[in-house]
Structure 1
Amino acid sequence: MANGNLLILIDDISMILDDVAMMTKLAAKKTAGVLGDDLALNAQQVAGVRADRELAVVWAVAKGSFINKLILVPVALIISDVAAWLITPLLMIGGLFLCFEGAEKIVHKFAPQLLPHDLDDDEAHHKRLMANANESVDLVAFEKAKIKGAIRTDFILSAEIVVISLGVMTASTLQTKAISLTAIAILMTIGVYGLVALIVKIDDIGLKLTHSPNQGVQKLGSALLNFTPKLMSFLSIAGTFAMFLVGGGILVHGIDILHHQAKDLALLSGVLGGLTESLYNGMIGLIAGLISLMFYIGVKKLKGKATC
């Protein structure tokens, strides 16, 4: 009898682990856009910090990210258990926000006059360089503002990851949701900030290699130095593109007419159905992002006139 109970327990544990593994895999796929943007954004946040302080800043932001998820995961689980109907609206809001962020990046890049930031990229970069060069500046205090800003941004991105992940698990038990969300939160935080730490040190590694007496090693160092800015550009572009795909996919899945159109186009495309559906999701994401951004700009201008 005892052996039979033990086998049943082992079987139950195995089933739970299988469910957790499947849910984690699906959630990771769904949150790819947020992760790409999270990685690029955090790598850019650390850019400009003095070389000997880069890892300390990454670690500080990573700790803040863990605290963010420590708050978000229990809140998400409570919502899913007490008010499960909120998951879909939250998911749609998260998807629209992804599209909005993607559109904001594009407009700021190609039409910055429509959406001026408080500090443009060149001015921000110059300010960081001046702080690094000035010995009278308390760099730890200077970095605190940067770290706080990065943690605030991480909170938004982490909330999107948790909500999107929870949307994949609507039919799962509370136990499976809890284990899966915890696993996703830990793995994604370690993965993102581990990669950020590696990315911000690539140029330092390359610089060190260029001082090697071996010409082959010197060439490798030069290649790494040339590769770093290209990698940052690629991450930024890929992250923005993925935001439209993922955000648009969430909106399409939540709106019946768009969902049916996407499926019909996929069927008509045959073997290219998956690609067609992804492009459709991306197009919807771009349109939704631009509309929401134009609405935001309009409201901002109206508020500005009202205060005059």
Structure 2
Amino acid sequence: MSAGLAALLDDVAALARLAAASVDDVGAAAGRASAKAAGVIVDDAAVTPRYVQGLEARRELAVIKKIAVGSLRNKLLFILPAALLLSQFAPWLLTPILMVGGAYLCFEGAEKIWEKVSGHHPPEAPSTARGADAEAAVVSSAVRTDFILSAEIMVIALNEVADEPFVSRALILAVVALAITALVYGVVGLIVKMDDVGLSLSTRSSDAAAAIGRGLVRAMPVVLATLSVVGVIAMLWVGGHILLVGVDDLGWHALYDAVHHLEEAAHDALPALGGAAGWLVNTAASAVIGLLVGAGVVAAVHLVQRVRGGRH
């Protein structure tokens, strides 16, 4: 009897260890997949704060919460099932879809640069939004933009774990969706409320706290402007890298090989920097590719708009 119980306990312990290992594997794979999507995550975190500019301070966190819920709904209810079905039945479509999304990111980044250079800035509706209807419009616009970025994040993550079993892929992508949504909108919440924290600290009796508060208030416009620039660079870098890897996966190796040779040359020329030199070269090359592709798409879109306007 005791031997049978001991054997049963051994089996239970073995199953527990197996389950723990599986959880660890899912967590590790989710971490790797999230790291691959880091550029888009930065872009997402950089883009979102502008949607709450001009809203009443007491409504900022409520609006961010609504956008976060919409983002999670995008990922779990729409993107994750579609990505899993594609990976199971038409995996060959993932690379072209990813490249279309990459081209869109390039377009977005190049369009923002064109707006800055040309001085043609579209009106920022969120900065003047007031009332429940306007707030709902802001949330809806942010969730639509998030859908594109979330799709990129999820497909990049899926591409990293494509060899895992179906159930493991589903669990990993669900973990990625939850973790990235919490990370992005947690950071966004901190960013948009940092000026309020600074104002609160600036009224404290402590000289040190008041100085920190005034520093935060002065720093926030710089932080937001820097985030805007980082977001544009991230769009070009991520979009260009997606296209660079995509054309190689589709069998056109010349461009990827050229960038790889540049990476090796940089690594050999600057051995003290190790892999960082190669990474910087790859990132710069990806950003240039993204800018060139994006500029071409921007020119095509503006040409079509001008022709359509002429017809009218």
TM normalised by structure 2 equals 0.86
Show the 5 A alignment for 1:165-244. Answer: 165-244=157-236
1:24 and 2:30 equivalent? yes
Q: Work out the CA distance in 2 between the residues paired with 1:8 and 1:291.
A: 58
CA RMSD in angstroms comes to: 2.0
* 1:136 corresponds to: none
Deviation at 1:186, TM superposition (A): 0.3
Q: What residue in structure 2 maps to residue 301 of structure 1?
A: 306
Counterpart-to-counterpart distance in 2, 1:99 and 1:292: 8
1:33 aligned to 39, 47, 54, which one?
Answer: 39
- Tell me the amino acid that sits aligned with residue 183 of structure 1: V
CA distance in 1, matches of 2:126, 2:174: 36
Q: CA deviation at 1:8?
A: 5.7
Counterpart residue number, 2:3? none
Give the conservation status (yes or no) of the 8 Å contact 1:104–1:293: yes
Gaps of 5+ in 1: 132-138
User: How far does the alpha carbon of each residue in 1:270-306 deviate from its partner, in whole angstroms, 9 at most, with x for none?
Assistant: 2322222222122111111111221121122222223
SS at match of 1:250: helix
2 CA distance for matches of 1:61 and 1:194?
A: 12
> Out of 284, 289, 293, which is 1:288 matched to?
293
Instruction: Pick the aligned partner of 1:45 from 51, 69, 85.
Output: 51
1:159 has 2:156 as partner: no
Tell me what 1:86 maps to.
93
Look up the match of 1:135: none
CA contact (8 A) 2:32 2:160 kept: yes
**Distance in 2 of aligned mates of 1:300 and 1:11:** 61
CA contact (8 A) 2:98 2:242 kept: yes
Instruction: Show the counterpart of 2:67.
Output: 61
Residue 204 of structure 1: CA displacement?
0.9
| Structure 2 counterpart of 1:260, one-letter code | D
Gaps of 5+ in 2: 1-6, 248-252, 272-276
Q: Secondary structure at the match of 1:49?
A: coil
Residue 101 to residue 195, structure 1, CA distance change in 2 (3 Å): same
CA shift at 1:112, angstroms?
Answer: 3.6
Cα shift at 1:10: 4.5
- Number of residue pairs aligned between Structure 1 and Structure 2: 292
Q: Equivalent pairs: percent with the same residue? A: 36
- Structure 2 CA distance for partners of 1:3 and 1:146, relative to 1, 3 Å: same
* Alignment-mate amino acid for residue 251 of structure 1: L
Confirm or deny that 1:259 pairs with 2:256. Answer: yes
Distance 2:285 2:27 in 1: 29
Change (3 A) 1:65 1:302: same
Q: Secondary structure at the match of 1:76?
A: helix
Instruction: Give the Cα separation in 2 of the matches to 1:26 and 1:305.
Output: 50
Q: What SS does the corresponding residue of 2:163 show, helix, strand or coil?
A: coil
For the residue of structure 2 that corresponds to 1:68, the secondary structure is: helix
Q: For 1:226-269, what per-residue CA distance to the aligned partner results, in whole angstroms no more than 9, with x for missing partners?
A: 11111111111112112222211111112222111111111222
CA contact (8 A) 2:195 2:216 kept: yes
Q: 1:299 to 1:3 in 2, by over 3 A?
A: farther
CA deviation after TM superposition for structure 1 residue 124, in Å: 6.0
Please report the TM-score for the alignment, with normalisation by the length of structure 1: 0.87
Match of 2:279 among 274, 296, 303: 274
How many Å separate the matches in 2 of 1:13 and 1:24?
16
Runs of 4+ in 1 over 6 A off after TM superposition: none
Mapped to 2, the partners of 1:233 and 1:273 lie a distance apart of: 28
